[in-house]
Amino acid sequence: LFRSEKFAFLEPFNDRDGKLILSPKQKQQFGKWVRPEDFCDEPRIIYTVSSFSIRQTIVSDCSFVASLAISAQYEKRFRKKLITNIIYPQNHNGEPIYNPCGKYMVKFNLNGMWRKIIIDDYLPMSKHGDLLCSFSNNKNELWVSLLEKAYMKVMGGYDFPGSNSNIDLHALTEWIPERIAIRPGSAEFNKDKEFKRLLDRFHKGHCLVTVATGELSETDADRAGLVPTHAYAMLDIREYKGRKLFMLKNPWNHLRWKGNYSEKDSVNWTPELQKALSYDPDSAQMFDNGVFWIDYDSLCKFFDVLYINWDPDLFMYTTCIQHTWSAKEGPKKDSYNISDNPQYRLEMTGNQAGAAVWILLTRHITDKADFADNKEFITVLVYKNGGKKVFYPYDPPPYKDGVRINSPHYLCKLIEGASTEPYTLVISQYEKNSTTHYTLRVYSTCEFTLTRFSNPYKKQLDQRITGQWKGRSAGGCANNRESYVNNPLYQVHIDNTSSDNHLMIELLGPKQYSVGFEVICVSENVGNAPGTFKRVTSGDFRPGYCVLQLSNISGGVYNVRPCTFKAGNDGPFFLEFSCSTSYAVSQIQ
C-alpha cells in the first residue's frame, strides 16, 4: 500500500486538497509559499537524526515537536527506526529520499490503523524570509517540516488546537500511550516507584517520555523559566548518589529552567556530578538550546503530567476489534443498565502467571472541532465474573472501574495471576451523545482470545410492552400478600418442543422506584429441560431497571408479573422481551 504510491511527475506536484490553513500568527507574518529549492542549496530529507536540531516556531504544536525530539533521540541511541521510516519515497534501504517533484507520503497511525497522508512540499515563509513552521537547524534538512505539515493536514491546518504527546506519539509510532498525573502524596501516584520504573525502562529503550506543565502564573513561570501548559521532551533520566535528575528539552529550542541544577546553579553542579553526567554548566551558559537538567522534586512541583508511550514489541501477542456503537443502542447514561454497552470476553489461554495484559480503547475522531473540544468521556470497565455478560454496572462490582476521560485513548493495565477465570470488558461513556466508532486493542505477554459476546436472541423478534402500575394494580412486592396479586400479569407462549430456548426479560420503570418481577412456569412442552424451573425472580429490587436471562428452557407457557417494591407506587413501565425463537406475549391481568 505504502510502496505502490506514484511519486514521479513531469511537473511539480500540487496537493489537490490545496494549501494548509494558516494560523492567525502565521497570517500576520506570512509572505509566500516556498518549495525547498527556494531556500535550500542541496535539499535532503535527513542529514542526521538529532533531537537537538528540531525547532518549533509559531505553530502551537509543542507536544508534536517534543514527540519528534524524543523519537529522533531514540533512533540515534538504539538504532531502531521510529519516524524516519514513515516518510516516502524511500530508497532500497528504507531511507526517505528527496523528491524533486515535490510529492511526499507520510504514514500515521490514526483511528486504529496505519493511514497514508499525501502532501506537497510547499512551506509557509515570512515576509523576512523565515520559515513559519517547525524546521531543523541542519540546513537543507526537511524531515521536521514535512512530518509537521502532514500531521497538521490531518488536524485541519496549521491553526492547530493543541494536543498531547500521548496522542502524537501514538500517531507517529503506534507506541502504547499511558498518562500519569503527577500528584505527590496521592494514592494514585507513587513517586519513588514511578521514578524507578522510568529509570529502568527508559534506559532499556522500552518507552518514550514527555512531561507537561499545567497552569502557572506569569510570575512563577518567569521565575522558574518554564512555559505554562507546555510539553517538554525527556532526553535522559539519571540517579547519582541519591540525586534523581531529568534532562528535558523545550521544543522552542530556547528558554530553560532557572532552578536547581540549571546551568547557572553553582551549588549543586559539583565537579564529580558534572563528570558523572557529562555536563559542563559553563559551556551550557554560552548557548541556550532549550535543553536543561532538573531534579525530580522540582519536576513534581512544577509539572502536571507524565506522558509515556510504550514499545508494543514488549508484548508477544496482540489483537484488535473495530466497532461502531450507535447512539440509539441503550440509554444515554449507563448508571443503571449496561446491557446494551459493547461487551467482550477476554480469556487467557497460555501460561499466564505474572503475565501483563494491557487494554487500549481508542475512540475514532474525524472532526477538528471534536478533537479541539472533546466532550466524549470514555473508559473500559473490567469484570472478573467468569466471562459472562454484565447487565448492572456495580453488580458485581468491576474488577477495574475505569475513570471516564475525554481523551481519544484510554489504557487499562492488568497483571495476571494464576487464575484462569475469564474477564468481561465493557465499553462505557459518561454520556452517550452521538454514535461512537472505536478500536479495542489488547496486548499481552501470553496467549489469549478476545471475542464479542454472541447474542442468542433474534433481534427481529424483540418486543416492548408498555404498561403501568396505577391504583389497585400498584400492588408492590410479594411482602404485600393481599395486593401483590393485583399487579399486571403477562403470559409468554413459546410454541415449540425444543429444550434449548433462550428468553431474556427486562423491566424498565421510574428510577425513583425499586422494581423487579417474577416468572412462573405454567406448563412445559418438554420435560427435564436443562433450564427447567417452577418459579424464578429477577433478584434484588433495583432502581428503575432489572433483567433476567432464562437459558435452555422448554417451549411452553410462562407468566411474568412486574412490580415495585412498595405498594402504591404509580407509574409507567416497559417490559422488553428477547428470544431465540418465535413467541407471543399477551396481558392477562
Backbone φ and ψ of 297, nearest 5°: -60, -45
Catalytic status, residue 250? yes
CA 471/CA 155 separation, integer angstroms: 59
CA 54/CA 68 separation, integer angstroms: 8
CA-CA-CA-CA torsion sign (326, 329, 335, 337): negative
Q: Which helix (H) or strand (E) holds 368?
A: helix 368-372
DSSP per position, 281-336: HHHHHT---SEEEEEHHHHHHHEEEEEEEE-GGG-SEEEEEEEEE-TTSS-S--SS
Q: Is the omega angle on the peptide bond into residue 397 within 30 degrees of 0, that is, cis?
A: no
Q: β-strands 135-136, 123-126: how paired?
A: unpaired
Q: Per the residue annotation, which of 250, 309, 337, 569 is the catalytic one? A: 250
DSSP per position, 39-50: H-SS-BS-S---
CA 562/CA 519 separation, integer angstroms: 9
Catalytic status, residue 62? yes
The residue behind cell 488546537 is 161
CA 413/CA 396 separation, integer angstroms: 20
According to DSSP, the residues that pair with 400 across neighbouring strands are 382
Catalytic status, residue 546? no
Q: Per the residue annotation, which of 230, 501, 502, 521 is the catalytic one? A: 230
CA 22/CA 58 separation, integer angstroms: 11
Backbone φ and ψ of 504, nearest 5°: -120, 135
CA 67/CA 83 separation, integer angstroms: 10
Q: Residue 306 in contact with residue 180, Cβ under 8 Å? A: yes
Q: Of 145, 150, 169, 179, nearest to 67 (Cα)? A: 169
Backbone φ and ψ of 537, nearest 5°: -125, 170
Q: Of 173, 170, 445, nearest to 314 (Cα)? A: 445
CA 570/CA 510 separation, integer angstroms: 9
Q: How far is CA 189 from CA 176, 183, 327, 411, 466, in A?
A: 20, 6, 35, 16, 50
Size of the chain, expressed as the number of residues it contains: 589
- 264-277 CB burial, b ≥16 within 10 A, e <16: eeeeebeeebeeeb
Q: Per the residue annotation, which of 62, 300, 477, 521 is the catalytic one? A: 62
CA 359/CA 270 separation, integer angstroms: 45
Instruction: Identify the DSSP state of 4.
Output: S
Report the catalytic residues: 62, 230, 250
